[in-house]
Amino acid sequence: VTDLLSERQQLAYIAGQAADARLNLELETEGMTLNIGPQHPATHGTLRIIVRLDGEQVVWAEPSTGYMHRGYEKLTEVRTYPQINTLLNRIDWLGSFANEVPFILAAEKLMEVEAPPRAQYIRTILFELSRLANISLFLGDLGVQLGAVTPAFFAFRDREHVLNLIEAVTGSRFHPNYDRIGGLKEDLPKGFIEDCRAVMRKMRTYCDQIDDLLMGNEILQARTRGVGIIPREIALQYGLSGANLRASGVDWDLRRDQKIPMAWDKCDWKVWTHPDGDSFARSWVRLQETREATKIVDQLLDGLPPGPIMAKVPRIIKVPEGEAWVSTENPLGEMGYYLVSKGDLGPFRLKIRSASFNNISVASWVLRGVYVPDIVTILTSLYFILGDIDR
Amino acid sequence: MSETVEAPALPGDGLRQSIIEELRRRIGDGVVEHLLKPQDDLWIRVRADRWADTGRALRAMGFEYFCFLSAIDWKPSPFGRGEDDPTEPPPERTTEIRQGYAGGETRFQLLARVTDLRRHVGVTVKADVASGDEDGAGTFAVQSWHAIYAGANWHERETHEMYGIGFEGHPDLRNLYLPTDFEGYPLRKDFPLLARIVKPWPGIVDVEPMPSEEPADAEGAAIVAGEDSAAGAEAGPPGQGAAAPDAVERALGPAPTDAEETPVPAPSGAADTLRHGSPEAAPETATDTSTVTEETTESAPDHVTPADRAEASVARGAADTVVAEAAAPDVAPVAAAAAADVPEEPPAAIPTVAGTAEEVEAIAIAAAASSREADQAAAEQEAAGSPGAEATVGVASGVAGAAGADAVDIAEAAGPGAAESAEFESANVREAVASAESTPAPESASDADRDTGTESTEAGGSPS
């Protein structure tokens, strides 16, 4: 493995490997167990992390989940397809609409229905708006975790505009429940296009501000560069996805790299990667993705085709027997549904593959050997939503 | 940093076929069955005792990315979908176990998916897990993938606690979600969903007839009606919420297969006027009408010539036109389009629309004008943090429902921030203002393909 790593990555790797052996040897210190959470400001919810310390250094760490487990996989088995949408909204609650899309696509795949082009465009637009609503908060939160409060206010200020757009379209700010098998609930409201363009301009300004405030900030760089390095091999093995994977130098984005009835292939945008794999790289890639998302939305608004927003589907939805796997590149990473249908009103089994579950499972690997203050930056840069871990 | 829109080489069925053959070559009779769905996906069922071999072989074949691992219980639930009427005797249910794609012999099946990122292809592998007895009470285990794909650790823990499947060689099969002393395996089909046992599904006990109609009997079974009404209220097809009588009509329609009529593309020149169809939407309409989209202008019907629009706008009131023209001459057609839209609203909506639309129109036109001005000017306005500019944009972005008080809130919320942003903008004004779409500096630094990243990010950090 070490052949593939850069020098800096090797050091981190060795530090992690050595940490286990070091306890009680150097200074004959006693280990200490520290609970971070379940109620801790750095954990966005109720993730509890148990760390074993040797002095200031983490010897062993283990996230303890389950404080928000809602049993969605069981609940989906007693609900109908339209009802399931409301549950899925609550998995990653910052980018709710994006949760609905892969499920709807999976059902459509089995029903052999495809949404009309206009619906695909609007879906993609809202998907990217969800991304903006989600990641803009990350960028603000990144500052807060490092002691800089201002970016959080910027984030909440500008995220508000995006939420207003989502509300204008779907009627709901957080849990849209807007996607339907075969299309969408409604068309865009009047005036949306102009408003959306204005908001995209604002979001680009916001990105520039964050770029100046945070990314160029010496303190942030000192706290995040070379901290929490995840090499490519490890990232792939753990199934990291989204910006966490791309920050480890893997050029992989499901928006580009799979055939899917959405409109991403209709526009010109970039997949950003970073070779370092550290906390800074993860944050930096997310910032670039936010910019790209505004460009995608702008281009989709330009090319928005007219036409219906709903394909022909039966009034009572029954999905034919079969199995389908559909995943999309959600704000947090790869979100997928393995849908098993027996031809009923609801699924026989729905496996929810959420991004944060894999993304945070690497924590016990990456936290080994780091110092206590770095725990916070690493967890922040891995970026998880509790509902997305526990489901 | 790679260019995007180059079409990726999508996996063909030939590639998938070769994957099956290579896996056969590597693990021999470990492959039991496979299913290749053309242009879709690949399922391979392997023997459970070759599960670890399968993982190793797949990894060696380039499937480096671990997606998920889980299981399926194929036994039909004895509780159905939890929608039985508790006053009735429980219905007869099939107990036949029928496996899905790629077949199967046992009640429980492992399910895992791995992806090859270079060839852009994923594969779903399954394995039959034989249990000690038919109830799944016996101990049964497969080899762990933990040493092959480290990420399988948590997935196996979850599968263990939810299905009771053991994994040999797993370092730590503690419960991930459930309390340590939890008894039972929740995702097994014979594990009851207690919430549904304690309190029956409300859809079955509270069957209410549709308003102003007799209870639906065309469908016969009450369960269908209950199901449907619940589904309709929650997530009905479009139009059902907006036009209730219509929905009732359709709900009572003779044939359930009667396909849902798709919303006709609005003939009135506004492709996105769907929610203007109902009178209740009138207040929203007023706000909406105010901001006019390009779309509206473009897709205006042929019979509305520019001359017509001009007339209409004159008829709407000279004051509006004056405002529009004073703001920017080229906005006049847009304003006209807004005006021309109004008579096309449903008759019931007209009074309301006409009442408020005129008020809002003036603001809207100003907003449209300001946003249509050169980007530079707009950016400078924002940079100056002028409250007027913020208020306008607030109105513009506060679409349906966010008018009035909300808009004020937005403007206020943005106030201090705007002052802050003014500093930034003025600092960067030479560059940032050059175009509002100022692309990030890193982009220019990204010419060197996949440079060290350090260089590019530092370039991004200091746009000097």
- Average model confidence (pLDDT) for chain B? 59
Find out whether A290 and A134 touch, Cβ atoms under 8 Å. no
B397:A201 CB<8 A: no
| Cβ of residue A258 closer than 8 Å to a chain B Cβ | yes
Beta pairing, strands B141-143 & B166-168: parallel
Name the residue among A157, A207, A265 with its Cβ closest to that of B414.
A157
A160: chain B residues, CB-CB within 8 Å: 410, 413
B413:A157 CB<8 A: yes
A265:B257 CB<8 A: no
A216:B275 CB<8 A: no
Q: Which of B320, B432, B457 is nearest to B380 (CA)?
A: B432
Residue B143 has pLDDT above 60, yes or no: yes
| Cβ of residue A323 closer than 8 Å to a chain B Cβ | yes
pLDDT digits (tens, 9 = 90+) for B370-393: 444 444 444 444 444 444 434 333
| pLDDT for position B11 | 62
The shortest C-alpha distance from B139 to chain A (Å) reads 23
B154:A357 CB<8 A: yes
Best mutation site among B99, B121, B295 for testing chain A: the one with the most A CBs within 10 Å? B295
Q: pLDDT category, A325, cuts 50, 70, 90?
A: very high
Name the residue among B149, B291, B450 with its Cβ closest to that of A195.
B291
Strand order, beta sheet including A349-353 = A322-330, A333-341, A349-353
B410: chain A residues, CB-CB within 8 Å: 160-161, 164
| pLDDT for position B33 | 83
Q: Using CB atoms and an 8 Å cut-off, which of residues 181-220 of chain A contact chain B? A: 182-195, 197-199, 201-202, 204-205, 207-209, 211-212, 215-217
Q: pLDDT category, A23, cuts 50, 70, 90?
A: low
| pLDDT for position B146 | 86
Q: pLDDT category, A132, cuts 50, 70, 90?
A: very high
| Cβ of residue A358 closer than 8 Å to a chain B Cβ | yes
Helix (H) or strand (E) holding B413: helix B405-432
Residue A16 has pLDDT above 90, yes or no: no
Residue B1 has pLDDT above 60, yes or no: no
| pLDDT for position B414 | 42
Q: What's chain B's length in residues?
A: 464
Least confident among A316-325, B209-218, B424-433: B424-433
The residue of chain B nearest to residue A80, with distances taken between CA atoms, is B231
pLDDT digits (tens, 9 = 90+) for B352-375: 333 444 444 444 444 444 444 444
Residue B46 has pLDDT above 80, yes or no: yes
Residue A34 has pLDDT above 50, yes or no: yes
The 3-class secondary structure across chain A, one letter per residue, is CHHHCCHHHHHHHHHHHHHHHHCCCCCCCCCEEEEECCCCHHHCCCCEEEEEEECCEEEEEEEECCCCCCCHHHHHHHCCHHHHHHHHCCCCCCCHHHHHHHHHHHHHHHHCCCCCHHHHHHHHHHHHHHHHHHHHHHHHHHHHHCCCCHHHHHHHHHHHHHHHHHHHHHCCCCCCCCEECCEECCCCCCCHHHHHHHHHHHHHHHHHHHHHHHHCCHHHHHHHCCCCCCCHHHHHHCCCCCHHHHCCCCCCCHHHHCCCCCCHHHCCCCECCCCCCCHHHHHHHHHHHHHHHHHHHHHHHHHCCCCCCECCCCCCCCCCCEEEEEEEEECCEEEEEEEEECCCCCCCEEEEECHHHHHHHCHHHHCCCCEHHHHHHHHHHHCCCHHHHHC
Q: pLDDT category, B20, cuts 50, 70, 90?
A: confident
Q: Which residue in this structure is represented by tokens 């299905």?
A: B163
Residue B49 has pLDDT above 50, yes or no: yes
| Cβ of residue A121 closer than 8 Å to a chain B Cβ | no
What average pLDDT does the segment B418-444 reach? 41
Residues B399, A164: Cα–Cα separation, whole Å:
7
Strand partners, A32: A53
| pLDDT for position B176 | 84
| pLDDT for position B429 | 38
pLDDT digits (tens, 9 = 90+) for A208-247: 988 888 888 888 888 888 888 888 888 998 989 989 999 9
Residues A235, A226: Cα–Cα separation, whole Å:
16
What average pLDDT does the segment A282-303 reach? 92
pLDDT digits (tens, 9 = 90+) for B253-284: 444 334 444 444 444 433 343 344 344 433 44
A212:B274 CB<8 A: no
B154: chain A residues, CB-CB within 8 Å: 357-358, 361
CA angle B136, B138, B144 (to 5 degrees): 90
Q: Which of A187, A372, A211 is nearest to B400 (CA)?
A: A187
| pLDDT for position B426 | 42
B447 versus B114: the higher-pLDDT residue is B114
What is the identity of the amino acid at B406? D
Q: Which tokens go with B350?
A: 């007209």
Name the residue among B8, B111, B438 with its Cβ closest to that of A338.
B111
B227: chain A residues, CB-CB within 8 Å: 80, 316, 345
The 3-class secondary structure across B206-239, one letter per residue, is CCCCCCCCCCCCCCCCHHHHHHHHHHHHHHCCCC
The residue of chain B nearest to residue A354, with distances taken between CA atoms, is B68
What average pLDDT does the segment A257-269 reach? 87
Q: pLDDT category, A61, cuts 50, 70, 90?
A: confident
- Average model confidence (pLDDT) for chain A? 85
Q: pLDDT category, B461, cuts 50, 70, 90?
A: very low
A5 versus B215: the higher-pLDDT residue is A5
Q: pLDDT category, A128, cuts 50, 70, 90?
A: very high
A193:B293 CB<8 A: yes
pLDDT digits (tens, 9 = 90+) for A164-197: 999 999 988 888 889 889 889 888 888 899 999 9
The shortest C-alpha distance from A55 to chain B (Å) reads 26
What average pLDDT does the segment B67-77 reach? 88
The shortest C-alpha distance from A333 to chain B (Å) reads 11
pLDDT digits (tens, 9 = 90+) for B306-350: 444 444 444 444 444 344 344 444 444 444 444 444 444 444 433
The shortest C-alpha distance from B28 to chain A (Å) reads 25
| pLDDT for position A29 | 61
Q: How many CB pairs under 8 A join A and B?
A: 346
Burial A87-105 (b: 16+ CB within 10 A, else e): bbbbbbbbbbbbbbbbbbb
Least confident among A318-332, B354-368, B445-459: B445-459
| pLDDT for position A39 | 65
The residue of chain B nearest to residue A257, with distances taken between CA atoms, is B8
A311:B262 CB<8 A: yes
| Cβ of residue A70 closer than 8 Å to a chain B Cβ | no
The shortest C-alpha distance from B64 to chain A (Å) reads 6
A70 versus B366: the higher-pLDDT residue is A70
| pLDDT for position B316 | 47
Name the residue among A69, A273, A310 with its Cβ closest to that of B262.
A310
A201:B375 CB<8 A: yes
Please give the C-alpha separations between residue B47 and each of B13, B143, B237, in angstroms, as whole numbers: 24, 11, 44
B460:A215 CB<8 A: yes
Name the residue among B111, B187, B293 with its Cβ closest to that of A73.
B187
What average pLDDT does the segment A360-383 reach? 87
Q: What percent of chain A has pLDDT over 70?
A: 90
What's the whole-model pTM score? 0.65
Find out whether A144 and A154 touch, Cβ atoms under 8 Å. no
| pLDDT for position A101 | 92
A73 versus B97: the higher-pLDDT residue is A73
The residue of chain B nearest to residue A324, with distances taken between CA atoms, is B41
A268 versus B215: the higher-pLDDT residue is A268
The shortest C-alpha distance from B188 to chain A (Å) reads 9
| pLDDT for position A297 | 93
| pLDDT for position B338 | 45
Q: pLDDT category, B235, cuts 50, 70, 90?
A: very low
Residue A252 has pLDDT above 70, yes or no: yes
A259: chain B residues, CB-CB within 8 Å: 10
Q: Which of B382, B385, B412, B408 is nearest to B395 (CA)?
A: B408
A161: chain B residues, CB-CB within 8 Å: 397, 410
Interface predicted TM-score of the whole assembly (ipTM), two decimals:
0.85
| Cβ of residue A304 closer than 8 Å to a chain B Cβ | yes
| Cβ of residue A324 closer than 8 Å to a chain B Cβ | yes
- Burial label for B181, CB within 10 Å (0-12, 13-18, 19+), is exposed
B273: chain A residues, CB-CB within 8 Å: 187, 190
The residue of chain A nearest to residue B383, with distances taken between CA atoms, is A205
| Cβ of residue A359 closer than 8 Å to a chain B Cβ | no
B120: chain A residues, CB-CB within 8 Å: 257-258
B186:A259 CB<8 A: no
| pLDDT for position B150 | 87
Please give the C-alpha separations between residue B226 and each of A3, B209, B266, in angstroms, as whole numbers: 63, 9, 33
Q: pLDDT category, A19, cuts 50, 70, 90?
A: low
| pLDDT for position A383 | 87
